[in-house]
Structure 1
Amino acid sequence: MSVAARGPALAGTVPLPVRRPSPSRATAVVVIAPLSLAMVLGLWGVRRQNTLWGDEAVTYQLAHRDLSQIWHTAQHVDLVHAVYYAVMHEVFALFGGGLLTLRLPSVLATCLAASGVGLVGLRLAGPRVGLLAGLVFPLLPQVQKYAQEGRSYAMVCALVTWATYALVTGVAHRTRWRWAVYAFTMVVACLLHEFAVLALAAHGVTLVVSRVPRPVLAAWSVAAVGVVAGLLPLAMRSMGQSGQLSWMGGPVRPGYFLVVAVVGVACTRAPLASRRPVRLSALAVPILVLPGLVLLIASLVKPLFVDRYVLYGNIGFALLLGALIDCFHRRQRFRRTAWIAAVAVLVALVPQSLALRTPQARSNDATAVAAAVRKAGRPGDGLLYLSGQHRILTAAHPSDTRHLTDLALAQDPVSSNTLAGVELPAQEIEARMLEFDRIVAIRGTGAHSPTSPQEAAKTSTLRRYFRESGTTRVNGARVTVYVRDQDASAERGDSAFRGR
């Protein structure tokens, strides 16, 4: 057949459709790629030069106690984290109580959260948005930070993520078991940290804004009542421990939250891809903005806002950024600019990612404090904590203080079912201090204002009868050696003699 004869036939041929990946393959990519990236970032520098910061030292200390001791301690302090400590106790029992074991659950939780964000994006706007959102999530600086901490926040974030996925699928399929999964996941998240209940409120706003059918709203309402009922006993008991939040008396620092909230809301100005019945922006904006905003408003009365308490807000931010990148990708003229901007952002994140994996990235360094005490102290020296709560900083490194005498301690933390132990009365502390010629004192980097008779006795005795011999400054604390001031001691002796 001639070429001319073939022409009409070819002209009338229907073009072959572009082969698209099967739904199962697309889902696998959306799950595996974000999970793998989160794993790489989580394991990169996870030891942070074998250092531990104060909150992790609390986890390390309490998770090594028996479950009964954890329960008794939680009656006095840290009840809001009791479930997490019990979980970590079992993790330590299975895999050993080392530093890597302390942080690996958070790494794994972040991996699960990343894959969950990807699936939520896939459900709301398709596989490309899901993949992009899932990859953005573990790259966010705040997510990278708490992926490597031995605290509950990454676990809470993972549970909220999968509860969000159960919510989206529950709206679409309207099956009871999905709502049961949603309720159970949210209850566990709230038991790990009470402020996860704010994600429940954000989900409610999403459903109202999306105008879902009444049966769906009713099913969510039943699940929400179950979640609140499950949380209520813990919330009522923990209100009696609100004094624990006294450390939050300083200025509220909402910088990260405000930046991501503004950028996230700005993303909604673009024509984002989305599917019914729940729009991506209707889900992402409430979970990004509402929890942090509630805590900020509450902080006008009592400081409550800490960015890690609403770590799960990054779920919404990642979804919005993923959808925005997809929006630019769909527009041919913006595609190259979008990818150049994405690469530039990744390069800009490298210095911060490196900094997050150093001991200086945390507010204090318990390992450095213990090492400074070991270096400054001599066998037989006295040891003094200003205030007594700083005893937590050396609890994970008992060998560094073994040869020193804790001058204020009446009952150790384990036997007293406390975090920092029970201290002696003020007069006994002063008397014990005067029995030593050298005292190693640990104090925070801020101004130390005595808030109890014991703290006042420590400060006044050091000022009257001792002088500073040297100070070592470490991240979050100062370790000072005090030596006996012979002139002051002689004057005290003369005064006592004249008193007779």
Structure 2
Amino acid sequence: MSLDERGPAVARTIYPPVPARRPSPGPATAVVVIAPLLLTIALGLWGIRKKNSMWGDEAVTYQLAHRDLSQIWLTAQEVDLVHALHYAMMHEIFALFGGGLLTLRLPSVLAMSVAAGGVGLLGLRLAGPRAGLLAGLVFSLLPQVQRYAQEGRSYAMVCALVTWATYTLVVSVPHRARWRWAVYGSTMLLACLLHEFAVLALVAHGVTLIVSRVPRPVLRAWSVTAAGVVAGLLPLAIGSAGQSGQVSWIDWPGTRLLGFLVMSVVGVACARAPLGVRGPVRLPALALPILVLPGLLLVIVSLVKPLFVDRYVLYSCIGMALLLGAWMDHFQRLQRSSRTAWIAVVAVLAALVPTSLSLRTPQSRSTDVIAIGATVRKEGRPGDGLLYLSGLHRIWTAANAEDTRLLTDLALAQDPASSNTLAGIELPAQDIAARMLEFDRIVVVRAPTGTHSPTNPQEEAKTSTLRRHFREYGTTHVNGARVTVYVRDHAPSPKTGPGSNSPGESGEVMR
């Protein structure tokens, strides 16, 4: 007998529908973010001291970050304005955790690890969990990432900010919430204020949106946000344009350009495969512009004025990692057996070992200011004169004041800190020559190779006085510099002792 035949229908209680719960991030998301983050931290801490070495650019950060904020600002108005915000940030970090070598580099390790997690999350959103994990791990292993994760400069921080700004952009396209665009704009502006060439990532983002054919409201929202970023950057760009001498050392890219071309070709080859999942923004449309465009724009500008330096667009590694990670995921899907994929992974890791080891040696940088200072301290004697050819090289011995405390800087009129400069203010040419003639021994710090070419009267006075009245007694070659002891012609040869070289055996001693 059916229910209707039993009698009147029983009234049923109808409950309101339960709202669907937003799924919480699963374990896959956590692994995709945390695994690259932890790997980057491990690689960053491995050999972070580089045998107690510090290269020239880090020495500038170290020197300026130990000054007061007012001194940093006054110095930045004259030189290195583009890095002023980074110096101010490092000043506060030094105040909290001490101003040692580890404190100088740890912020870069942490920043790069945050970037690695962001790359993994980008890969997850655009191509799935496995592609995201592979992209994050590839990013951690890239030689450029390993290098600048251990450097006390702003490039790792810029890379992290561009990574998360890129993720915010991808998330903002389907949702269109104003607060998301505000977060995107603020993150990009901070990246640009840390280094103004981060604005080139903004160009790459615009190309991504155009290629993806996003709706006009999205493109309009990005345009307004980008205009705000450029407006916020404009004062810094105008101010730093007057300090173009800071990049006068950059020449035509040469071998650096070759590395950029190789990365671009590899990225384009990976993008030919069907990568990622369908969505408002496809992975190749995001990764290729950020890999290629920033570097390409700098190369084009370099035809007029050389400006291409790979670390200025370090964030291009984001695109490289996404493309390689997604391609590896695609390749593994095509293989019936994962054995081939694992063999390829092991081969790549084995190939990276020598590079990873060399990056953690003092020789991986063009200079080692700690070694230069220690050599000056070893070769000099209390009361000796000290001379820099050129005066800009005074930065090389600024890391440890004890290295030069017992020597007399013959050309210095006002020290770097009190003059709000990087290398101090030097005496007039005739005063430098007169002071040099008061000393029988002078320790000279100069470039590692080639003849010093005088660029002003002070430099001419130094070289001509040395040539006329002194003779070379011995030279020590260190990473990035030569430290030479000169003695007066009328003075007796110094007695041979620890750290001294006998002129009777050789006019120049190489160590």
Indicate which of 110, 113, 136 corresponds to 1:111.
Answer: 113
Equivalent position amino acid for 2:370 in 1: T
Cα offsets for 1:92-139 (capped at 9, x unmatched): 011111110000000000010000001111111111111110111010
The structural deviation recorded for 1:256 is 2.3
TM-score with structure 2 length normalisation? 0.90
Structure 2 equivalent of residue 4 of structure 1: none
Distance 1:210 1:288 in 2: 16
The structural deviation recorded for 1:244 is 1.1
Structure 1: gaps (5+ residues): 1-20, 488-500
Distance 1:181 1:297 in 2: 31
Cα offsets for 1:195-249 (capped at 9, x unmatched): 0000000000000001001011011111101100100001001100001111114
The structural deviation recorded for 1:430 is 0.5
Equivalent position amino acid for 2:490 in 1: Q
Structure 2: gaps (5+ residues): 1-22, 492-511
Equivalent position amino acid for 2:453 in 1: S
Q: Give runs of aligned pairs for residues 159-308 of structure 1, distance below 5 A.
A: 159-249=161-251, 252=254, 253-308=256-311
The structural deviation recorded for 1:23 is 4.6
Establish whether residue 34 from structure 1 lines up as the match of residue 36 from structure 2. Answer: yes
Structure 1 equivalent of residue 6 of structure 2: none
Structure 1 equivalent of residue 135 of structure 2: 133
Alpha carbons of 1:467 and 1:237: their partners in 2 closer, same or farther (altered >3 Å)?
A: same
Establish whether residue 430 from structure 1 lines up as the match of residue 443 from structure 2. Answer: no
The structural deviation recorded for 1:51 is 1.0
Of 25-34 and 413-422, more deviation after overlay is shown by 25-34
Q: Give runs of aligned pairs for residues 368-383 of structure 1, distance below 5 A.
A: 368-383=371-386
Instruction: For residue 474 of structure 2, give the secondary structure of its aligned residue in structure 1.
Output: strand
Structure 2 equivalent of residue 467 of structure 1: 471
Distance 1:334 1:241 in 2: 58
Residues paired across the two proteins, number: 468
Of 77-86 and 445-454, more deviation after overlay is shown by 445-454
Please tell me whether the aligned partners of residues 200 and 293 of structure 2 are also in contact (alpha carbons under 8 angstroms): yes
Distance 2:337 2:160 in 1: 33
Please tell me whether the aligned partners of residues 328 and 334 of structure 1 are also in contact (alpha carbons under 8 angstroms): no
Distance 1:334 1:357 in 2: 37
Equivalent position amino acid for 2:59 in 1: A
TM-score with structure 1 length normalisation? 0.92
Structure 1 equivalent of residue 367 of structure 2: 364
Structure 2 equivalent of residue 67 of structure 1: 69
How many percent identity over aligned positions? Answer: 77
Equivalent position amino acid for 2:160 in 1: A
The structural deviation recorded for 1:22 is 8.0
Structure 2 equivalent of residue 495 of structure 1: none
Distance 1:179 1:204 in 2: 14
Structure 1 equivalent of residue 501 of structure 2: none
Give 1 or 2: higher helix fraction: 1
Q: CA RMSD in A?
A: 1.4
Distance 1:465 1:474 in 2: 26
Distance 2:170 2:408 in 1: 58
Cα offsets for 1:22-66 (capped at 9, x unmatched): 852111111111101011001000011111111111000000000
Equivalent position amino acid for 2:275 in 1: L
Establish whether residue 393 from structure 1 lines up as the match of residue 396 from structure 2. Answer: yes
Of 169-178 and 320-329, more deviation after overlay is shown by 169-178
Instruction: For residue 94 of structure 1, give the secondary structure of its aligned residue in structure 2.
Output: helix
Distance 1:259 1:338 in 2: 22
Distance 1:109 1:185 in 2: 14
Structure 2 equivalent of residue 96 of structure 1: 98
Equivalent position amino acid for 2:125 in 1: R
Please tell me whether the aligned partners of residues 80 and 191 of structure 1 are also in contact (alpha carbons under 8 angstroms): yes
Distance 2:236 2:205 in 1: 22
The ranges of structure 1 where at least 4 consecutive aligned residues each deviate by more than 6 angstroms after the TM superposition are none
Establish whether residue 81 from structure 1 lines up as the match of residue 83 from structure 2. Answer: yes
Equivalent position amino acid for 2:457 in 1: P
Instruction: For residue 221 of structure 2, give the secondary structure of its aligned residue in structure 1.
Output: helix
The structural deviation recorded for 1:333 is 3.6
Alpha carbons of 1:272 and 1:108: their partners in 2 closer, same or farther (altered >3 Å)?
A: same
Of 241-250 and 352-361, more deviation after overlay is shown by 241-250
The structural deviation recorded for 1:251 is 5.2
Structure 1 equivalent of residue 55 of structure 2: 53
Alpha carbons of 1:232 and 1:22: their partners in 2 closer, same or farther (altered >3 Å)?
A: closer
The structural deviation recorded for 1:250 is 6.1
The structural deviation recorded for 1:276 is 1.1
